[in-house]
């Protein structure tokens, strides 16, 4: 029999995007955009907020009719919702064949063939699968950027967060495996990797800490850029800051979730730092790398959050001057302590705070983007712009998207670009002709 067709739907964070690539790689099937043509349909789910759960359920519901029409098609669900509900999903979705967890992707080929052979539905959500990291990285032809997972799970216990429950304890990947995978990707044309983990800067293995890993990855030839996400504020050390400063490929952008600007709320969230501590770590980072762009995550409407707590968060946005903020309304999650907190904030109030915060951040971001006009930036060109084949798109070291007139030959190159316009979500620029000469002059 020839290759099977795989239809894959992915929700959630960068870890899920990475995991979906892993699914593609281990199944070695032909990807299709048409579920009607697929032999295998996999939904990779997210459980971080209640809305994400709902999306997973409605997606599962959508495939019911297809499964009735094509009983031999395998319908599987993976990711955080699968890990959270396990067996119960089979009960609620009678047309579902397979539930696999966040750490059982390497078992997929075997699981699928057992479902086919034994005509029995299966659940496999254990955390004890060994060698979870051993797989051939999936790479789409022409892609310049890639994720490389360096860590699974999370050992923090933020009181609102379901991640430790659905992704298990922190497990750090060996240096050799990380290098292998990165080298393979670079050979396929990747020029920028993002090292990913839930608290990526807490990575350690033997005598190596995360700062050492940055140095080691920085030695890979032809790798032009290194990013990493997501960092945990308390795991920033002096040595790590020095590595970020000293490894030239490390981009000057940091995603450092603060969650709230109120010490009272931070304490109830179990974040283990104060507002002052956070401000100080940002200062130390900026002392070492003055142009460091910083983005963050904020939760509004956490149980017990008063108007004055919220004001503290708004003032923090201004004080730090974040380049961007991902903000969310608190959503109570199963298996988390904060779901039991009695002093919830009404949805109306949380919604109003979210809008205010987003509006405020938008003003800050637009100002920051406009302040780049006239600057010369290095942009890694990722490919043609979606809207116009005569334009290309890429990112600055600070992770700002830049669109500029240019041809596909620029893909994978670091181009020197003069910024001509700044918008809310992107910049516009023009290529500086005669790149070499210009870099001599400056």
Q: Does 164 bind ligand F3S (CB under 6 A)?
A: yes
Cβ nearer to ligand F3S, comparing 201 with 396? 201
> How far apart are CB 265 and ligand SAH at their closest, in Å?
12
Q: Does 49 bind ligand SAH (CB under 6 A)?
A: yes
Distance CA 276, CA 297 (A): 17
Distance CA 48, CA 412 (A): 34
Distance CA 172, CA 169 (A): 10
Structure token pair of residue 406:
């240019």
Cβ nearer to ligand SAH, comparing 399 with 403? 399
> How far apart are CB 17 and ligand SAH at their closest, in Å?
12
Q: Does 256 bind ligand F3S (CB under 6 A)?
A: no
Structure token pair of residue 11:
């929700």
* Residue in the block written with tokens 């870890």: 15
> How far apart are CB 156 and ligand F3S at their closest, in Å?
4
**Residue 67: count of CB within 10 angstroms of its CB:** 18
Closest C-alpha to 252, from 191, 294, 280? 294
Closest C-alpha to 363, from 399, 309, 396, 323? 323
Q: Does 259 bind ligand SAH (CB under 6 A)?
A: yes
Distance CA 257, CA 52 (A): 20
Distance CA 227, CA 199 (A): 14
Cβ nearer to ligand SAH, comparing 15 with 381? 15
Distance CA 403, CA 124 (A): 44
Q: Does 232 bind ligand F3S (CB under 6 A)?
A: yes
94: helix, coil or strand? coil
> How far apart are CB 73 and ligand SAH at their closest, in Å?
32
Residues within window 191-210 making contact with ligand F3S, judged by CB under 6 A: 198-199
Q: Does 230 bind ligand SAH (CB under 6 A)?
A: yes
Q: Does 198 bind ligand SAH (CB under 6 A)?
A: yes
State which of residues 163, 213, 241, 282 lies at the interface with ligand F3S (CB under 6 A): 163
State which of residues 44, 243, 331, 396 lies at the interface with ligand SAH (CB under 6 A): 331
Enumerate binding residues for ligand F3S (CB under 6 A): 154, 156, 158, 161, 163-164, 198-199, 232
């Amino acid at each position: 029999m020839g290759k099977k067709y795989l239809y894959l739907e992915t929700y959630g964070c960068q870890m899920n995007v990475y995991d979906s690539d892993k699914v593609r790689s281990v199944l070695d099937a032909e990807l299709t955009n048409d579920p009607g043509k697929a032999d295998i349909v996999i939904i990779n789910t997210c459980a971080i907020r209640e809305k994400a759960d709902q999306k997973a359920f409605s997606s599962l519901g959508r495939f019911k009719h297809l499964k009735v029409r094509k009983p031999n098609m395998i319908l599987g669900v993976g990711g955080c919702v699968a890990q959270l509900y396990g067996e119960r999903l089979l009960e609620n979705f009678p047309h579902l064949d397979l539930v696999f967890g966040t750490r059982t992707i390497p078992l997929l080929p075997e699981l699928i063939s057992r479902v086919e052979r034994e005509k029995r539905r299966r659940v496999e959500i254990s955390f004890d699968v060994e060698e979870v990291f051993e797989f051939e990285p999936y790479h789409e032809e022409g892609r310049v950027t890639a994720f490389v997972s360096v860590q699974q799970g999370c050992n923090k216990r933020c009181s609102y967060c379901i991640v430790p429950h659905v992704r298990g304890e922190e497990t750090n990947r060996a240096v050799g495996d990380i290098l292998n995978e990165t080298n393979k990707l670079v050979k396929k044309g990747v020029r920028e990797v993002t090292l990913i983990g839930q608290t990526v800067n807490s990575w350690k293995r033997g005598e190596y800490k995360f700062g050492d890993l940055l140095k080691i990855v920085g030695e890979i030839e032809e790798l032009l850029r290194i990013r990493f996400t997501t960092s945990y504020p308390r795991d920033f050390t002096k040595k790590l800051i020095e590595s970020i400063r000293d490894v030239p490929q490390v981009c000057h952008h940091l995603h450092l979730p603060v969650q709230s600007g109120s010490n009272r709320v931070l304490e109830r969230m179990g974040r283990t730092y104060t507002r002052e501590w956070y401000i100080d770590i940002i200062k130390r980072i900026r002392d070492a790398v003055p142009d460091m762009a910083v983005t963050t995550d904020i939760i509004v409407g956490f149980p017990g959050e008063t108007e004055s707590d919220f004001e503290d968060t708004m003032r923090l946005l201004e004080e730090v001057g974040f380049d961007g903020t991902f903000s969310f309304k608190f959503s109570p999650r199963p298996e988390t302590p904060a779901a039991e907190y009695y002093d919830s904030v009404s949805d109306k109030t949380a919604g109003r705070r979210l809008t205010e915060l987003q509006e405020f951040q938008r003003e800050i971001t637009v100002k920051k983007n406009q302040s780049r006009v006239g600057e010369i930036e290095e942009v890694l060109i990722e490919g043609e712009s979606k809207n116009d084949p005569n334009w290309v798109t890429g990112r600055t070291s600070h992770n700002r998207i830049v669109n500029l007139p240019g041809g596909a030959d620029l893909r994978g190159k670091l181009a020197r670009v003069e910024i001509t316009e700044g918008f809310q979500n992107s910049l516009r620029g023009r290529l500086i002709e005669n790149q070499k000469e210009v870099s001599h002059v400056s």
